[in-house]
Structure 1
Amino acid sequence: MTAPAPLFTLTPGRTPLLIDVPHAGLGLSPGLEARLTDGGRRLTDTDWHVEKLYAFAAESGVGLMVASHSRYVVDLNRDPAGKALYPGADNTEICPTRGFDNAPLYRDGETPDAAEVAQRVAGYWRPYHERLAAELAAIQARHGYAILLDGHSIAAEVPRFFEGRLPDLNLGSNDGRSCAPELGTLAYGILSASDRFSHIYNGRFKGGYITRTYGRPGEGFHALQLEMARDCYMDEGDLPHWDAGKAAPLVALLKRLVDGLLSWRPA
């Protein structure tokens, strides 16, 4: 595989809401596949099919931005300066060298050096963030405010980072700092009203670099991260396979969430 062109797709919307999906891409930079271990080439830590879960966005007038390259190239939800999201915990790098299973992603002697990491940040990370920032600024200019929903998924159990099984739906607002409090309460109220999926607000996942950077409610920018356990919408034993029937209940809930976000207006 080679790096896809463009590095992302953006379908602009006509509402104050933009959904971005930074980790569903499968593209690799030139020559990278040969440097990865057999496990690394499986791209297991991809946010599989999240862009499909939000495919309804266009019919709701909601913008959708989806990265095309793998998080193994560069992680769009990490600080390029290497600042840890969760100080004192096990954190992944901007160019990951270990998978979520803690196994090495690169063959011996093939891990990227500092110069290569800087090149990947310049070639992949920066263009994505420049376009995301520009789209949010345009939305805020049109509507007076902008809402970003940062969409993710993860294996239901990842012992490297936490014990036991994750809740199905993990909503984060950087402990209430990335959006107006009433918007976070509204969003969590919609998710927690479902008796099909377990849920938590500002638990282990409080929001990554994207939520923390673009969520500036005092300036009219509101951001939420939603991390979903993969097994609540797919078979984790068959990651590449998309099962629309299994995903349908979650898609219905995400539609209700989007409708709720669109109904909100800042005070």
Structure 2
Amino acid sequence: MTGWLEIDRGEAPLIVAFPHSGTDIPADYEPRFVSPWLARKDADWWIDRVYGFAGELGATTIRTRISRSVIDVNRDPSGASLYPGMTTTELCPTTTFAGEHLYRDGGPDEADIEERRRRFFEPYHQALETEIDRLRSRHGQVVLYDAHSILSHMPRLFDGELPLFNIGTNTGMSCASALRDAVTAVVAASGESHVVDGRFRGGWTTRHHGRPQDHVHAIQMELSMRGYLQEPEAPDPDNWPAPFAPKAATIDTLRQVLTACLDFARTR
């Protein structure tokens, strides 16, 4: 751990990344936000706790403690949208998912954004590459599993209720089809709703680090939060974040998912 970056090294050919579970806001940034609560509202609340069993499987975990409202380490660093034509938030978001303004002064300028890229974005992805290289040199093949969560209903981003399990492979380009099919089979067997490359096809992590031709397979899981907490109808400072209340069936399915990732990585 280096203060804002937590790395727990395992020896299995699996990395589980948590780019959005952080809630820390550096003291020099906080006064610019409308409120600390808004600046933390869209965190992937408790998602690192959801996968608390990952270390037992021998996985390496990498987590940033910095709030995604400071900088979103799962966006294209150039600022280009990963979902052209769809509503999304920026590299350094200026609104919440619901469209609420985050800043009192309009948001960071180019110099601010560049400073945040150097301070947080680049070290985070360098850490991912370092762990990928370490494990690939040992095993020959590695799976990078990007763990996310979001409220089941987010009208500004998608219609209706999101499936419980949302698998992203950048339309099959970030990992081998065998890995995609293995993970899909696990969630399908759970009987819960699921989709592959639906609204969430994978962010910068899967698109940038996933190189199946080099035996680096990246896959994203966007989990609807109803799988591990009671979602309020409208989040507010009194009810959000909701307490961590994991459903045993959801955790069991995710354990099977990571086990399937390991089985794939160990079978070249």
- Would the TM-score normalized by the shorter structure come out above 0.5? yes
Name which of structure 1's ranges 13-22 and 84-93 shifts more when overlaid on structure 2. 84-93
- Aligned AA for 2:257? L
**TM-score with structure 2 setting the length:** 0.93
For 2:79, what is the secondary structure of its paired residue?
Answer: coil
**1:243 and 2:244 correspond:** yes
Q: CA deviation at 1:91?
A: 2.5
Counterparts of 1:40 and 1:87, CA distance in 2: 29
User: Of 162, 166, 170, which residue of structure 1 is paired with 2:166?
Assistant: 170
Identity %: 36
Q: Which runs of 5+ in 2 are unaligned?
A: 233-238
- Aligned AA for 1:22? P
Q: How does 1:1-267 map to 2 (within 5 A)?
A: 5-38=2-35, 41=38, 43-107=40-104, 109-195=105-191, 197-237=192-232, 238-244=239-245, 246-264=246-264, 265-267=266-268
Counterparts of 2:36 and 2:123, CA distance in 1: 28
Q: Contact (CA 8 Å) 1:35, 1:110: kept in 2 or not?
A: no
For 2:40, what is the secondary structure of its paired residue?
Answer: coil
Q: Contact (CA 8 Å) 1:39, 1:105: kept in 2 or not?
A: no
Q: CA deviation at 1:59?
A: 1.1
**TM-score with structure 1 setting the length:** 0.93
Q: CA deviation at 1:110?
A: 4.8
Q: CA deviation at 1:127?
A: 0.8
Q: CA RMSD in A?
A: 1.6
For 1:66, what is the secondary structure of its paired residue?
Answer: strand
- Aligned AA for 2:219? L
1:61-97 Cα deviation digits (max 9, x unpaired):
1111111110011001001101210112222110000
Q: Contact (CA 8 Å) 2:202, 2:220: kept in 1 or not?
A: yes
Q: CA deviation at 1:38?
A: 3.3
1:195-215 Cα deviation digits (max 9, x unpaired):
2x2111111111000000111
Counterparts of 2:244 and 2:124, CA distance in 1: 29
Quote the residue 2:236 is aligned against.
none
- Aligned AA for 1:138? R
Q: Would you identify which runs of 4 or more consecutive aligned residues in structure 1 move more than 6 Å?
A: none
For 2:247, what is the secondary structure of its paired residue?
Answer: helix
Q: CA deviation at 1:5?
A: 5.0
Q: CA deviation at 1:240?
A: 3.3
Counterparts of 2:17 and 2:240, CA distance in 1: 21
Counterparts of 2:240 and 2:50, CA distance in 1: 14
Q: How many residues align?
A: 261
- Aligned AA for 1:44? K
Q: Contact (CA 8 Å) 1:99, 1:105: kept in 2 or not?
A: yes
Q: CA deviation at 1:165?
A: 1.0
Q: Contact (CA 8 Å) 2:87, 2:157: kept in 1 or not?
A: yes
- Aligned AA for 1:227? E
Q: Contact (CA 8 Å) 2:38, 2:96: kept in 1 or not?
A: no
Q: Contact (CA 8 Å) 1:7, 1:128: kept in 2 or not?
A: no
